[in-house]
Amino acid sequence: MKKVVLIAGDGIGTEITASVKKILETAGAPIEWIEREAGLGAYEKYDNPLPDETVAAIEEHKVALKGPLTTPVGTGFRSINVALRQKFNLYSNIRPAITLPNVDTTFKEVDMVIFRENTQGLYIGKEHWVDGDDKSHAESIAVVTREASRKIITSAFKYALQNNKKKVTLVHKANILKLTSGLFLEVGREVAKEFPDVEFEDLIVDNMAMQMVMRPQQFDVVVTTNLFGDILSDLASGLVGGLGVTGSANIGDDVAMFEAVHGSAPDIAGQNKANPIALLFSSLLMLEYLDEKPIAENIRKAIYKTLVENKDACTLDIGGKGTTDSFTEAVCSNL
């Protein structure tokens, strides 16, 4: 059995994690869940949205599956998600966007994975007013280092090699941001030489945005800096049915945390309406990370079968007529 820290989180978190637990158990995944708390629920109980016990459990077991967390407003605590990424240096944010059967979208046959640098760029929180009290001139600092760029770009190439993807596309704005984006591109060209079996191309981010909408099928693995990755990964989710059907991984050298990209959906919490697919796909990334690829593939097949043959059992957000429970039962019986 492999021990994984499970943080159900807030809002629909309890419902979707229960669904994922049931489906993984039915599939025979050798996982022992170590349940810990975080988010608004933890804040209300312990006055701390990220209790030490939770951090210690992640430190000990190294792998976590996390439901959505409501970020308490007006407490000075920025975002627990961001705090966790920084605490464990989870520098790779990995977001696959794959067209699903029988989920209605304009775009067909999309199968791409975006690797977003998760710790640097414009997201380090270094902003200031240039003119003090006047507040009409602000500046923000972007950080790009050779070391962090090399890590994320290397993980994108390794992923391409291990998953039989033929091409890595590096996205940048080095024509304008000559130092920061230029460094990222330079490191990309160096790393590409170490992977001669993987094709390499670079695209300027504005062209990339257009290409993703015009012909998204041309992309396999995409690697980019924090801000571009934030925007393009949501764009990629939009190509395949939205945030409700996209999973994600946050991976560092030592620790990995898997989470859905949507929030805690307070408007539908406790109503048996939440779609567990996003967290389920995140759990499949986790199973692959834990070397349980065959089990992950079985579950993926059962989800696809459910979408095609039991669409009514699926939740309302993807055009079904069912509930969290009816979807979960359908997937389990297809397993």
Calpha distance 232→230 (Å, rounded) = 6
> Which of 202, 220, 230, 259 is in the footprint of ligand NAI by CB under 6 A?
259
Determine the Cα–Cα distance for residues 218 and 258; give it in Å rounded to an integer.
Answer: 27
| Nearest CA among 261, 282, 309, 331 for reference residue 25 | 331
Q: CA 172, 175, 181 angle in degrees (round to 5)? A: 40
Does the footprint of ligand NAI cover residue 265 (CB under 6 A)?
yes
If one counts every other C-beta atom within 10 angstroms of the C-beta of residue 73, the result is 7
Size of the site for ligand NAI (CB under 6 A): 20
Q: Is residue 299 at the binding interface for ligand NAI, with CB under 6 A as the rule?
A: no
What's the closest the beta carbon of residue 317 comes to ligand NAI, in angstroms? 4
Determine if 267 is a binding residue for ligand NAI (CB under 6 A).
Answer: yes
Is residue 283 involved in binding ligand NAI (CB under 6 A)? no
Q: In this chain, which stretch among 24-32, 146-154, 201-209, 272-280 interacts with ligand NAI, using CB under 6 A?
A: 272-280
Least separation in angstroms between residue 261's CB and Mg ion is: 7
DSSP lists the bridge partners of residue 95 as 114
State the minimum distance, in angstroms, from the CB of residue 70 to ligand NAI. 4
Distance, in Å, from the CA atom of 74 to the CA atom of 71, rounded to the nearest integer, reads 9
Is residue 68 at the binding interface for ligand NAI, with CB under 6 A as the rule? yes
The maximal CA–CA distance of the chain, rounded, in angstroms, is 63
Assess 230 for contact with Mg ion (CB under 5 A). Answer: yes
Task: Kindly state whether residue 10 participates in binding Mg ion, applying the rule CB under 5 A.
Answer: no
Contacting range for ligand NAI; rule: CB under 6 A; set: 84-92, 143-151, 267-275, 290-298: 267-275
Q: Is 317 in the site for ligand NAI (CB under 6 A)?
A: yes
Q: Which of residues 1-20 bind ligand NAI (CB under 6 A)?
A: 12
**Distance (Å, whole) CA 30 – CA 24:** 8
Nearer to ligand NAI, 17 or 120 (CB): 17
How many Å apart are CA 332 and CA 26, to the nearest integer? 6
Mark whether 230 is an active-site residue.
yes
Given the complex with ligand NAI, which of 188 and 320 has the nearer CB atom? 320
Does 46 participate in catalysis according to the annotation? no
- State which residue, 274 or 335, has the beta carbon closest to ligand NAI: 274
Nearer to ligand NAI, 41 or 244 (CB): 244
- Category of 93 on φ-ψ map: left (φ > 0), alpha (ψ -120 to 50) or beta: beta
- DSSP string computed for 121-185: BGGG--EEESSGGG---EEE--B--HHHHHHHHHHHHHHHHHTT--EEEEEE-TTTSTTHHHHHH
Q: Which is nearer to ligand NAI, 52 or 267 (CB)?
A: 267
- Pairing type for strands 247-251 and 92-98 reads antiparallel
Catalytic positions, please? 123, 173, 206, 230
